[in-house]
Amino acid sequence: MTVESCKRMVGKVVVLTGGGGGIARGVARAFASEGAKMVLTDIFQGGMDVTKAELEEEFGTEVLTLIVDGAEEEQVEKALAKTVEHFGQIDVLINSAQTSASGLTLIQHSKEDFDKAIYSGLYATFFFMKHAFPYLRETEGSVINFASGAGLSGNPGQSSYGAAKEAIRGLSRVAANEWGVYNINVNVVAPLVMTDKLAAWGEENPEMFEKNIKSIPLGRYGDAQQDIGRVCVFLGSDDARYLTGDTIMIQGGLGMRP
Among 135, 161, 221, 242, the one annotated catalytic = 161
DSSP string, 157-204: TBHHHHHHHHHHHHHHHHHHHHHGGGT-EEEEEEE-B--HHHHHHHHH
Q: Using CA of residue 33, residue 38, residue 44, residue 50, what is the dihedral sign? A: positive
- The Cβ of residue 41 has, within 10 Å, a number of other Cβ atoms equal to 28
Residue 106 has a CB neighbour count (10 Å cut-off) of 13
The residue ranges of DSSP E strands in the chain, in sequence order, are 13-17, 37-42, 63-67, 92-95, 142-146, 185-191, 247-250
Catalytic site includes residue 119: no
Of 175, 163, 170, 169, the C-alpha closest to 118 is 163
Q: How far apart are CA 66 and CA 82, in angstroms?
A: 9
Q: How far apart are CA 103 and CA 177, in angstroms?
A: 35
Give the residue numbers annotated as catalytic, written as ranges.
Answer: 161
